[in-house]
Amino acid sequence: MKTLIIFCLVAAVSAKHEAYLGWKSYYVAPSTQDQLQSLGGMISGFDLDFLSRAALNREGLVLVKPEYQSGFVAALKNEGIQYWVHAEDVKAQLDLDDQDAEAVSRSTPPKGEMAYDRYQPLQVIYDYIDSVAKNYPNLVTLVTPANSYEGRPIKYLKISSTNFEDKSKSLIFIESTTHAREWITPPVATFTIHKLVENLTNPDMLERFDWIVLPVVNPDGYEFTHNSTRFWRKTRSMDHFDGQRCPGVDGNRNFDFKWNTVGVSSNPCGETFPGGAPFSEVEIRVVRDILHENLDRMVMYLSMHSYGSMVLYPWGHDGTLSNYAFAQQTTAVNMVKAITVRALPDFPKYTIGNSKLVIGYPTSGSSQDYAHYIGVPLSFTYELPGLGRGLLGFHLSARYIRQVVEETWEGIVVGARRAGQLYGPSNRYY
């Protein structure tokens, strides 16, 4: 009997990540703008899934299904694009990642407390948010504006030393986990809450600003990556035309700005399917409503993603710059400088710029562009660090989570100050 139980346990462990049997992952390193663009052109033909976007002088990391590997490699050779294998066996590497995560984080913190030596399941994040709201009622208001497609609450915190009543204060909005698999992003959001509420070392952050922090935009997808399919990116909705067979929509292509024009997959099974209509996803409508409800005071919006070590700004659909480009660039430079002071040498250096120009590939219907389009002056996509050369595995080892959240917080502080200076109450000339 005992042997049978052990056998079943072993079988259960090895059955995990089975969806990725035979898959490989490759680093790709285009060295010219032409190569970068031709790489973008290969995405739909080979059904490529970039975990980390390539940029010039910055290798990307891409997942390739078994049936496309030989064609993809031939195409890379044909274009002269440098590449090398990251994982010969994606499933085996995911199993190793799981072992690493277990080795790093051993004891479980008490309910309502947050540890930064491990990735954070949805319930842990929600327990934390609930407890912060309960323990700091003078600073924090918990809002649950809607339930996700599968019925999970979507929760965010409004953080203010003046109960959101001082309309002369500027407001900053941070959200994360639109893309379900980007597990390094919700710790950045919860750490922001921690630094604003429980461990306030930068008091001007509360004196000058009100904050909205939404740690998990896409709770259904996030749960799915923990319980079933590690690289799930989209929502889990099924009410679009092929939803039964291929659920989900790319939330960061679902906003109503140049929706469904470029950089999307018209195939509902594709990773960048923009949905049947703009704002088809309830999760994305929550982000939209926060943007609109607070537009008069919102000076900066940060959308957290991973990986890539990039700070990107509009316009993503065509690579042109808005009238705010100088402010966007200088704010991004200042944020990245503050991060770099704290960064580990292992981490790739941050790249800054217009999102299309940096990744060489357009995106439409993104939150970054939509927020800027409706009037948020500083609207950035953060691609958090990870997966540079020398960092193995598919998610950044849990031993680096604290590093990432601490260095990113330094960037957020500097960005907030700069946003306040440029677009705060005494200087609202836009």
Active-site annotation, residues: 383
Per the structure block, which two tokens stand in for 266? 């018209």
Which residue, 58 or 305, has its beta carbon nearer to Zn ion? 305
Amino acid at 342: R
Q: Could you tell me which of 110, 224, 206 has the C-alpha nearest to residue 160?
A: 206
Single-letter amino acid, residue 352: I
Residue 411 token pair: 């960037």
Considering the complex, what minimum distance in angstroms separates the CB of residue 421 from Zn ion?
A: 29
User: CA-to-CA distance for 379 and 314, rounded, in angstroms?
Assistant: 8
Task: State the nearest-atom distance from the C-beta of 182 to Zn ion, in Å.
Answer: 5
Q: Determine how β-strand 298-306 pairs with β-strand 24-29.
A: unpaired
Q: Cβ(398)–Cβ(99) under 8 Å?
A: no
Nearest distance from C-beta of residue 429 to Zn ion, angstroms: 33
Whichever of 183 and 209 has its CB closer to Zn ion, that residue is 183
- Residues of this chain that interact with Zn ion (CB under 5 A) are 179, 305
Query: Closer CB to Zn ion, residue 35 or residue 148?
Result: 148
State how far the Cα of 63 lies from the Cα of 21, in Å rounded to an integer: 12
Shortest spacing between CB 252 and Zn ion, in angstroms: 6
Q: Which one, 179 or 230, has the nearer CB to Zn ion?
A: 179
Nearer to Zn ion by Cβ, of 232 and 423: the residue is 232
**169/179 with CB nearer Zn ion:** 179
Nearer residue to Zn ion within complex by CB, 30 or 308: 308
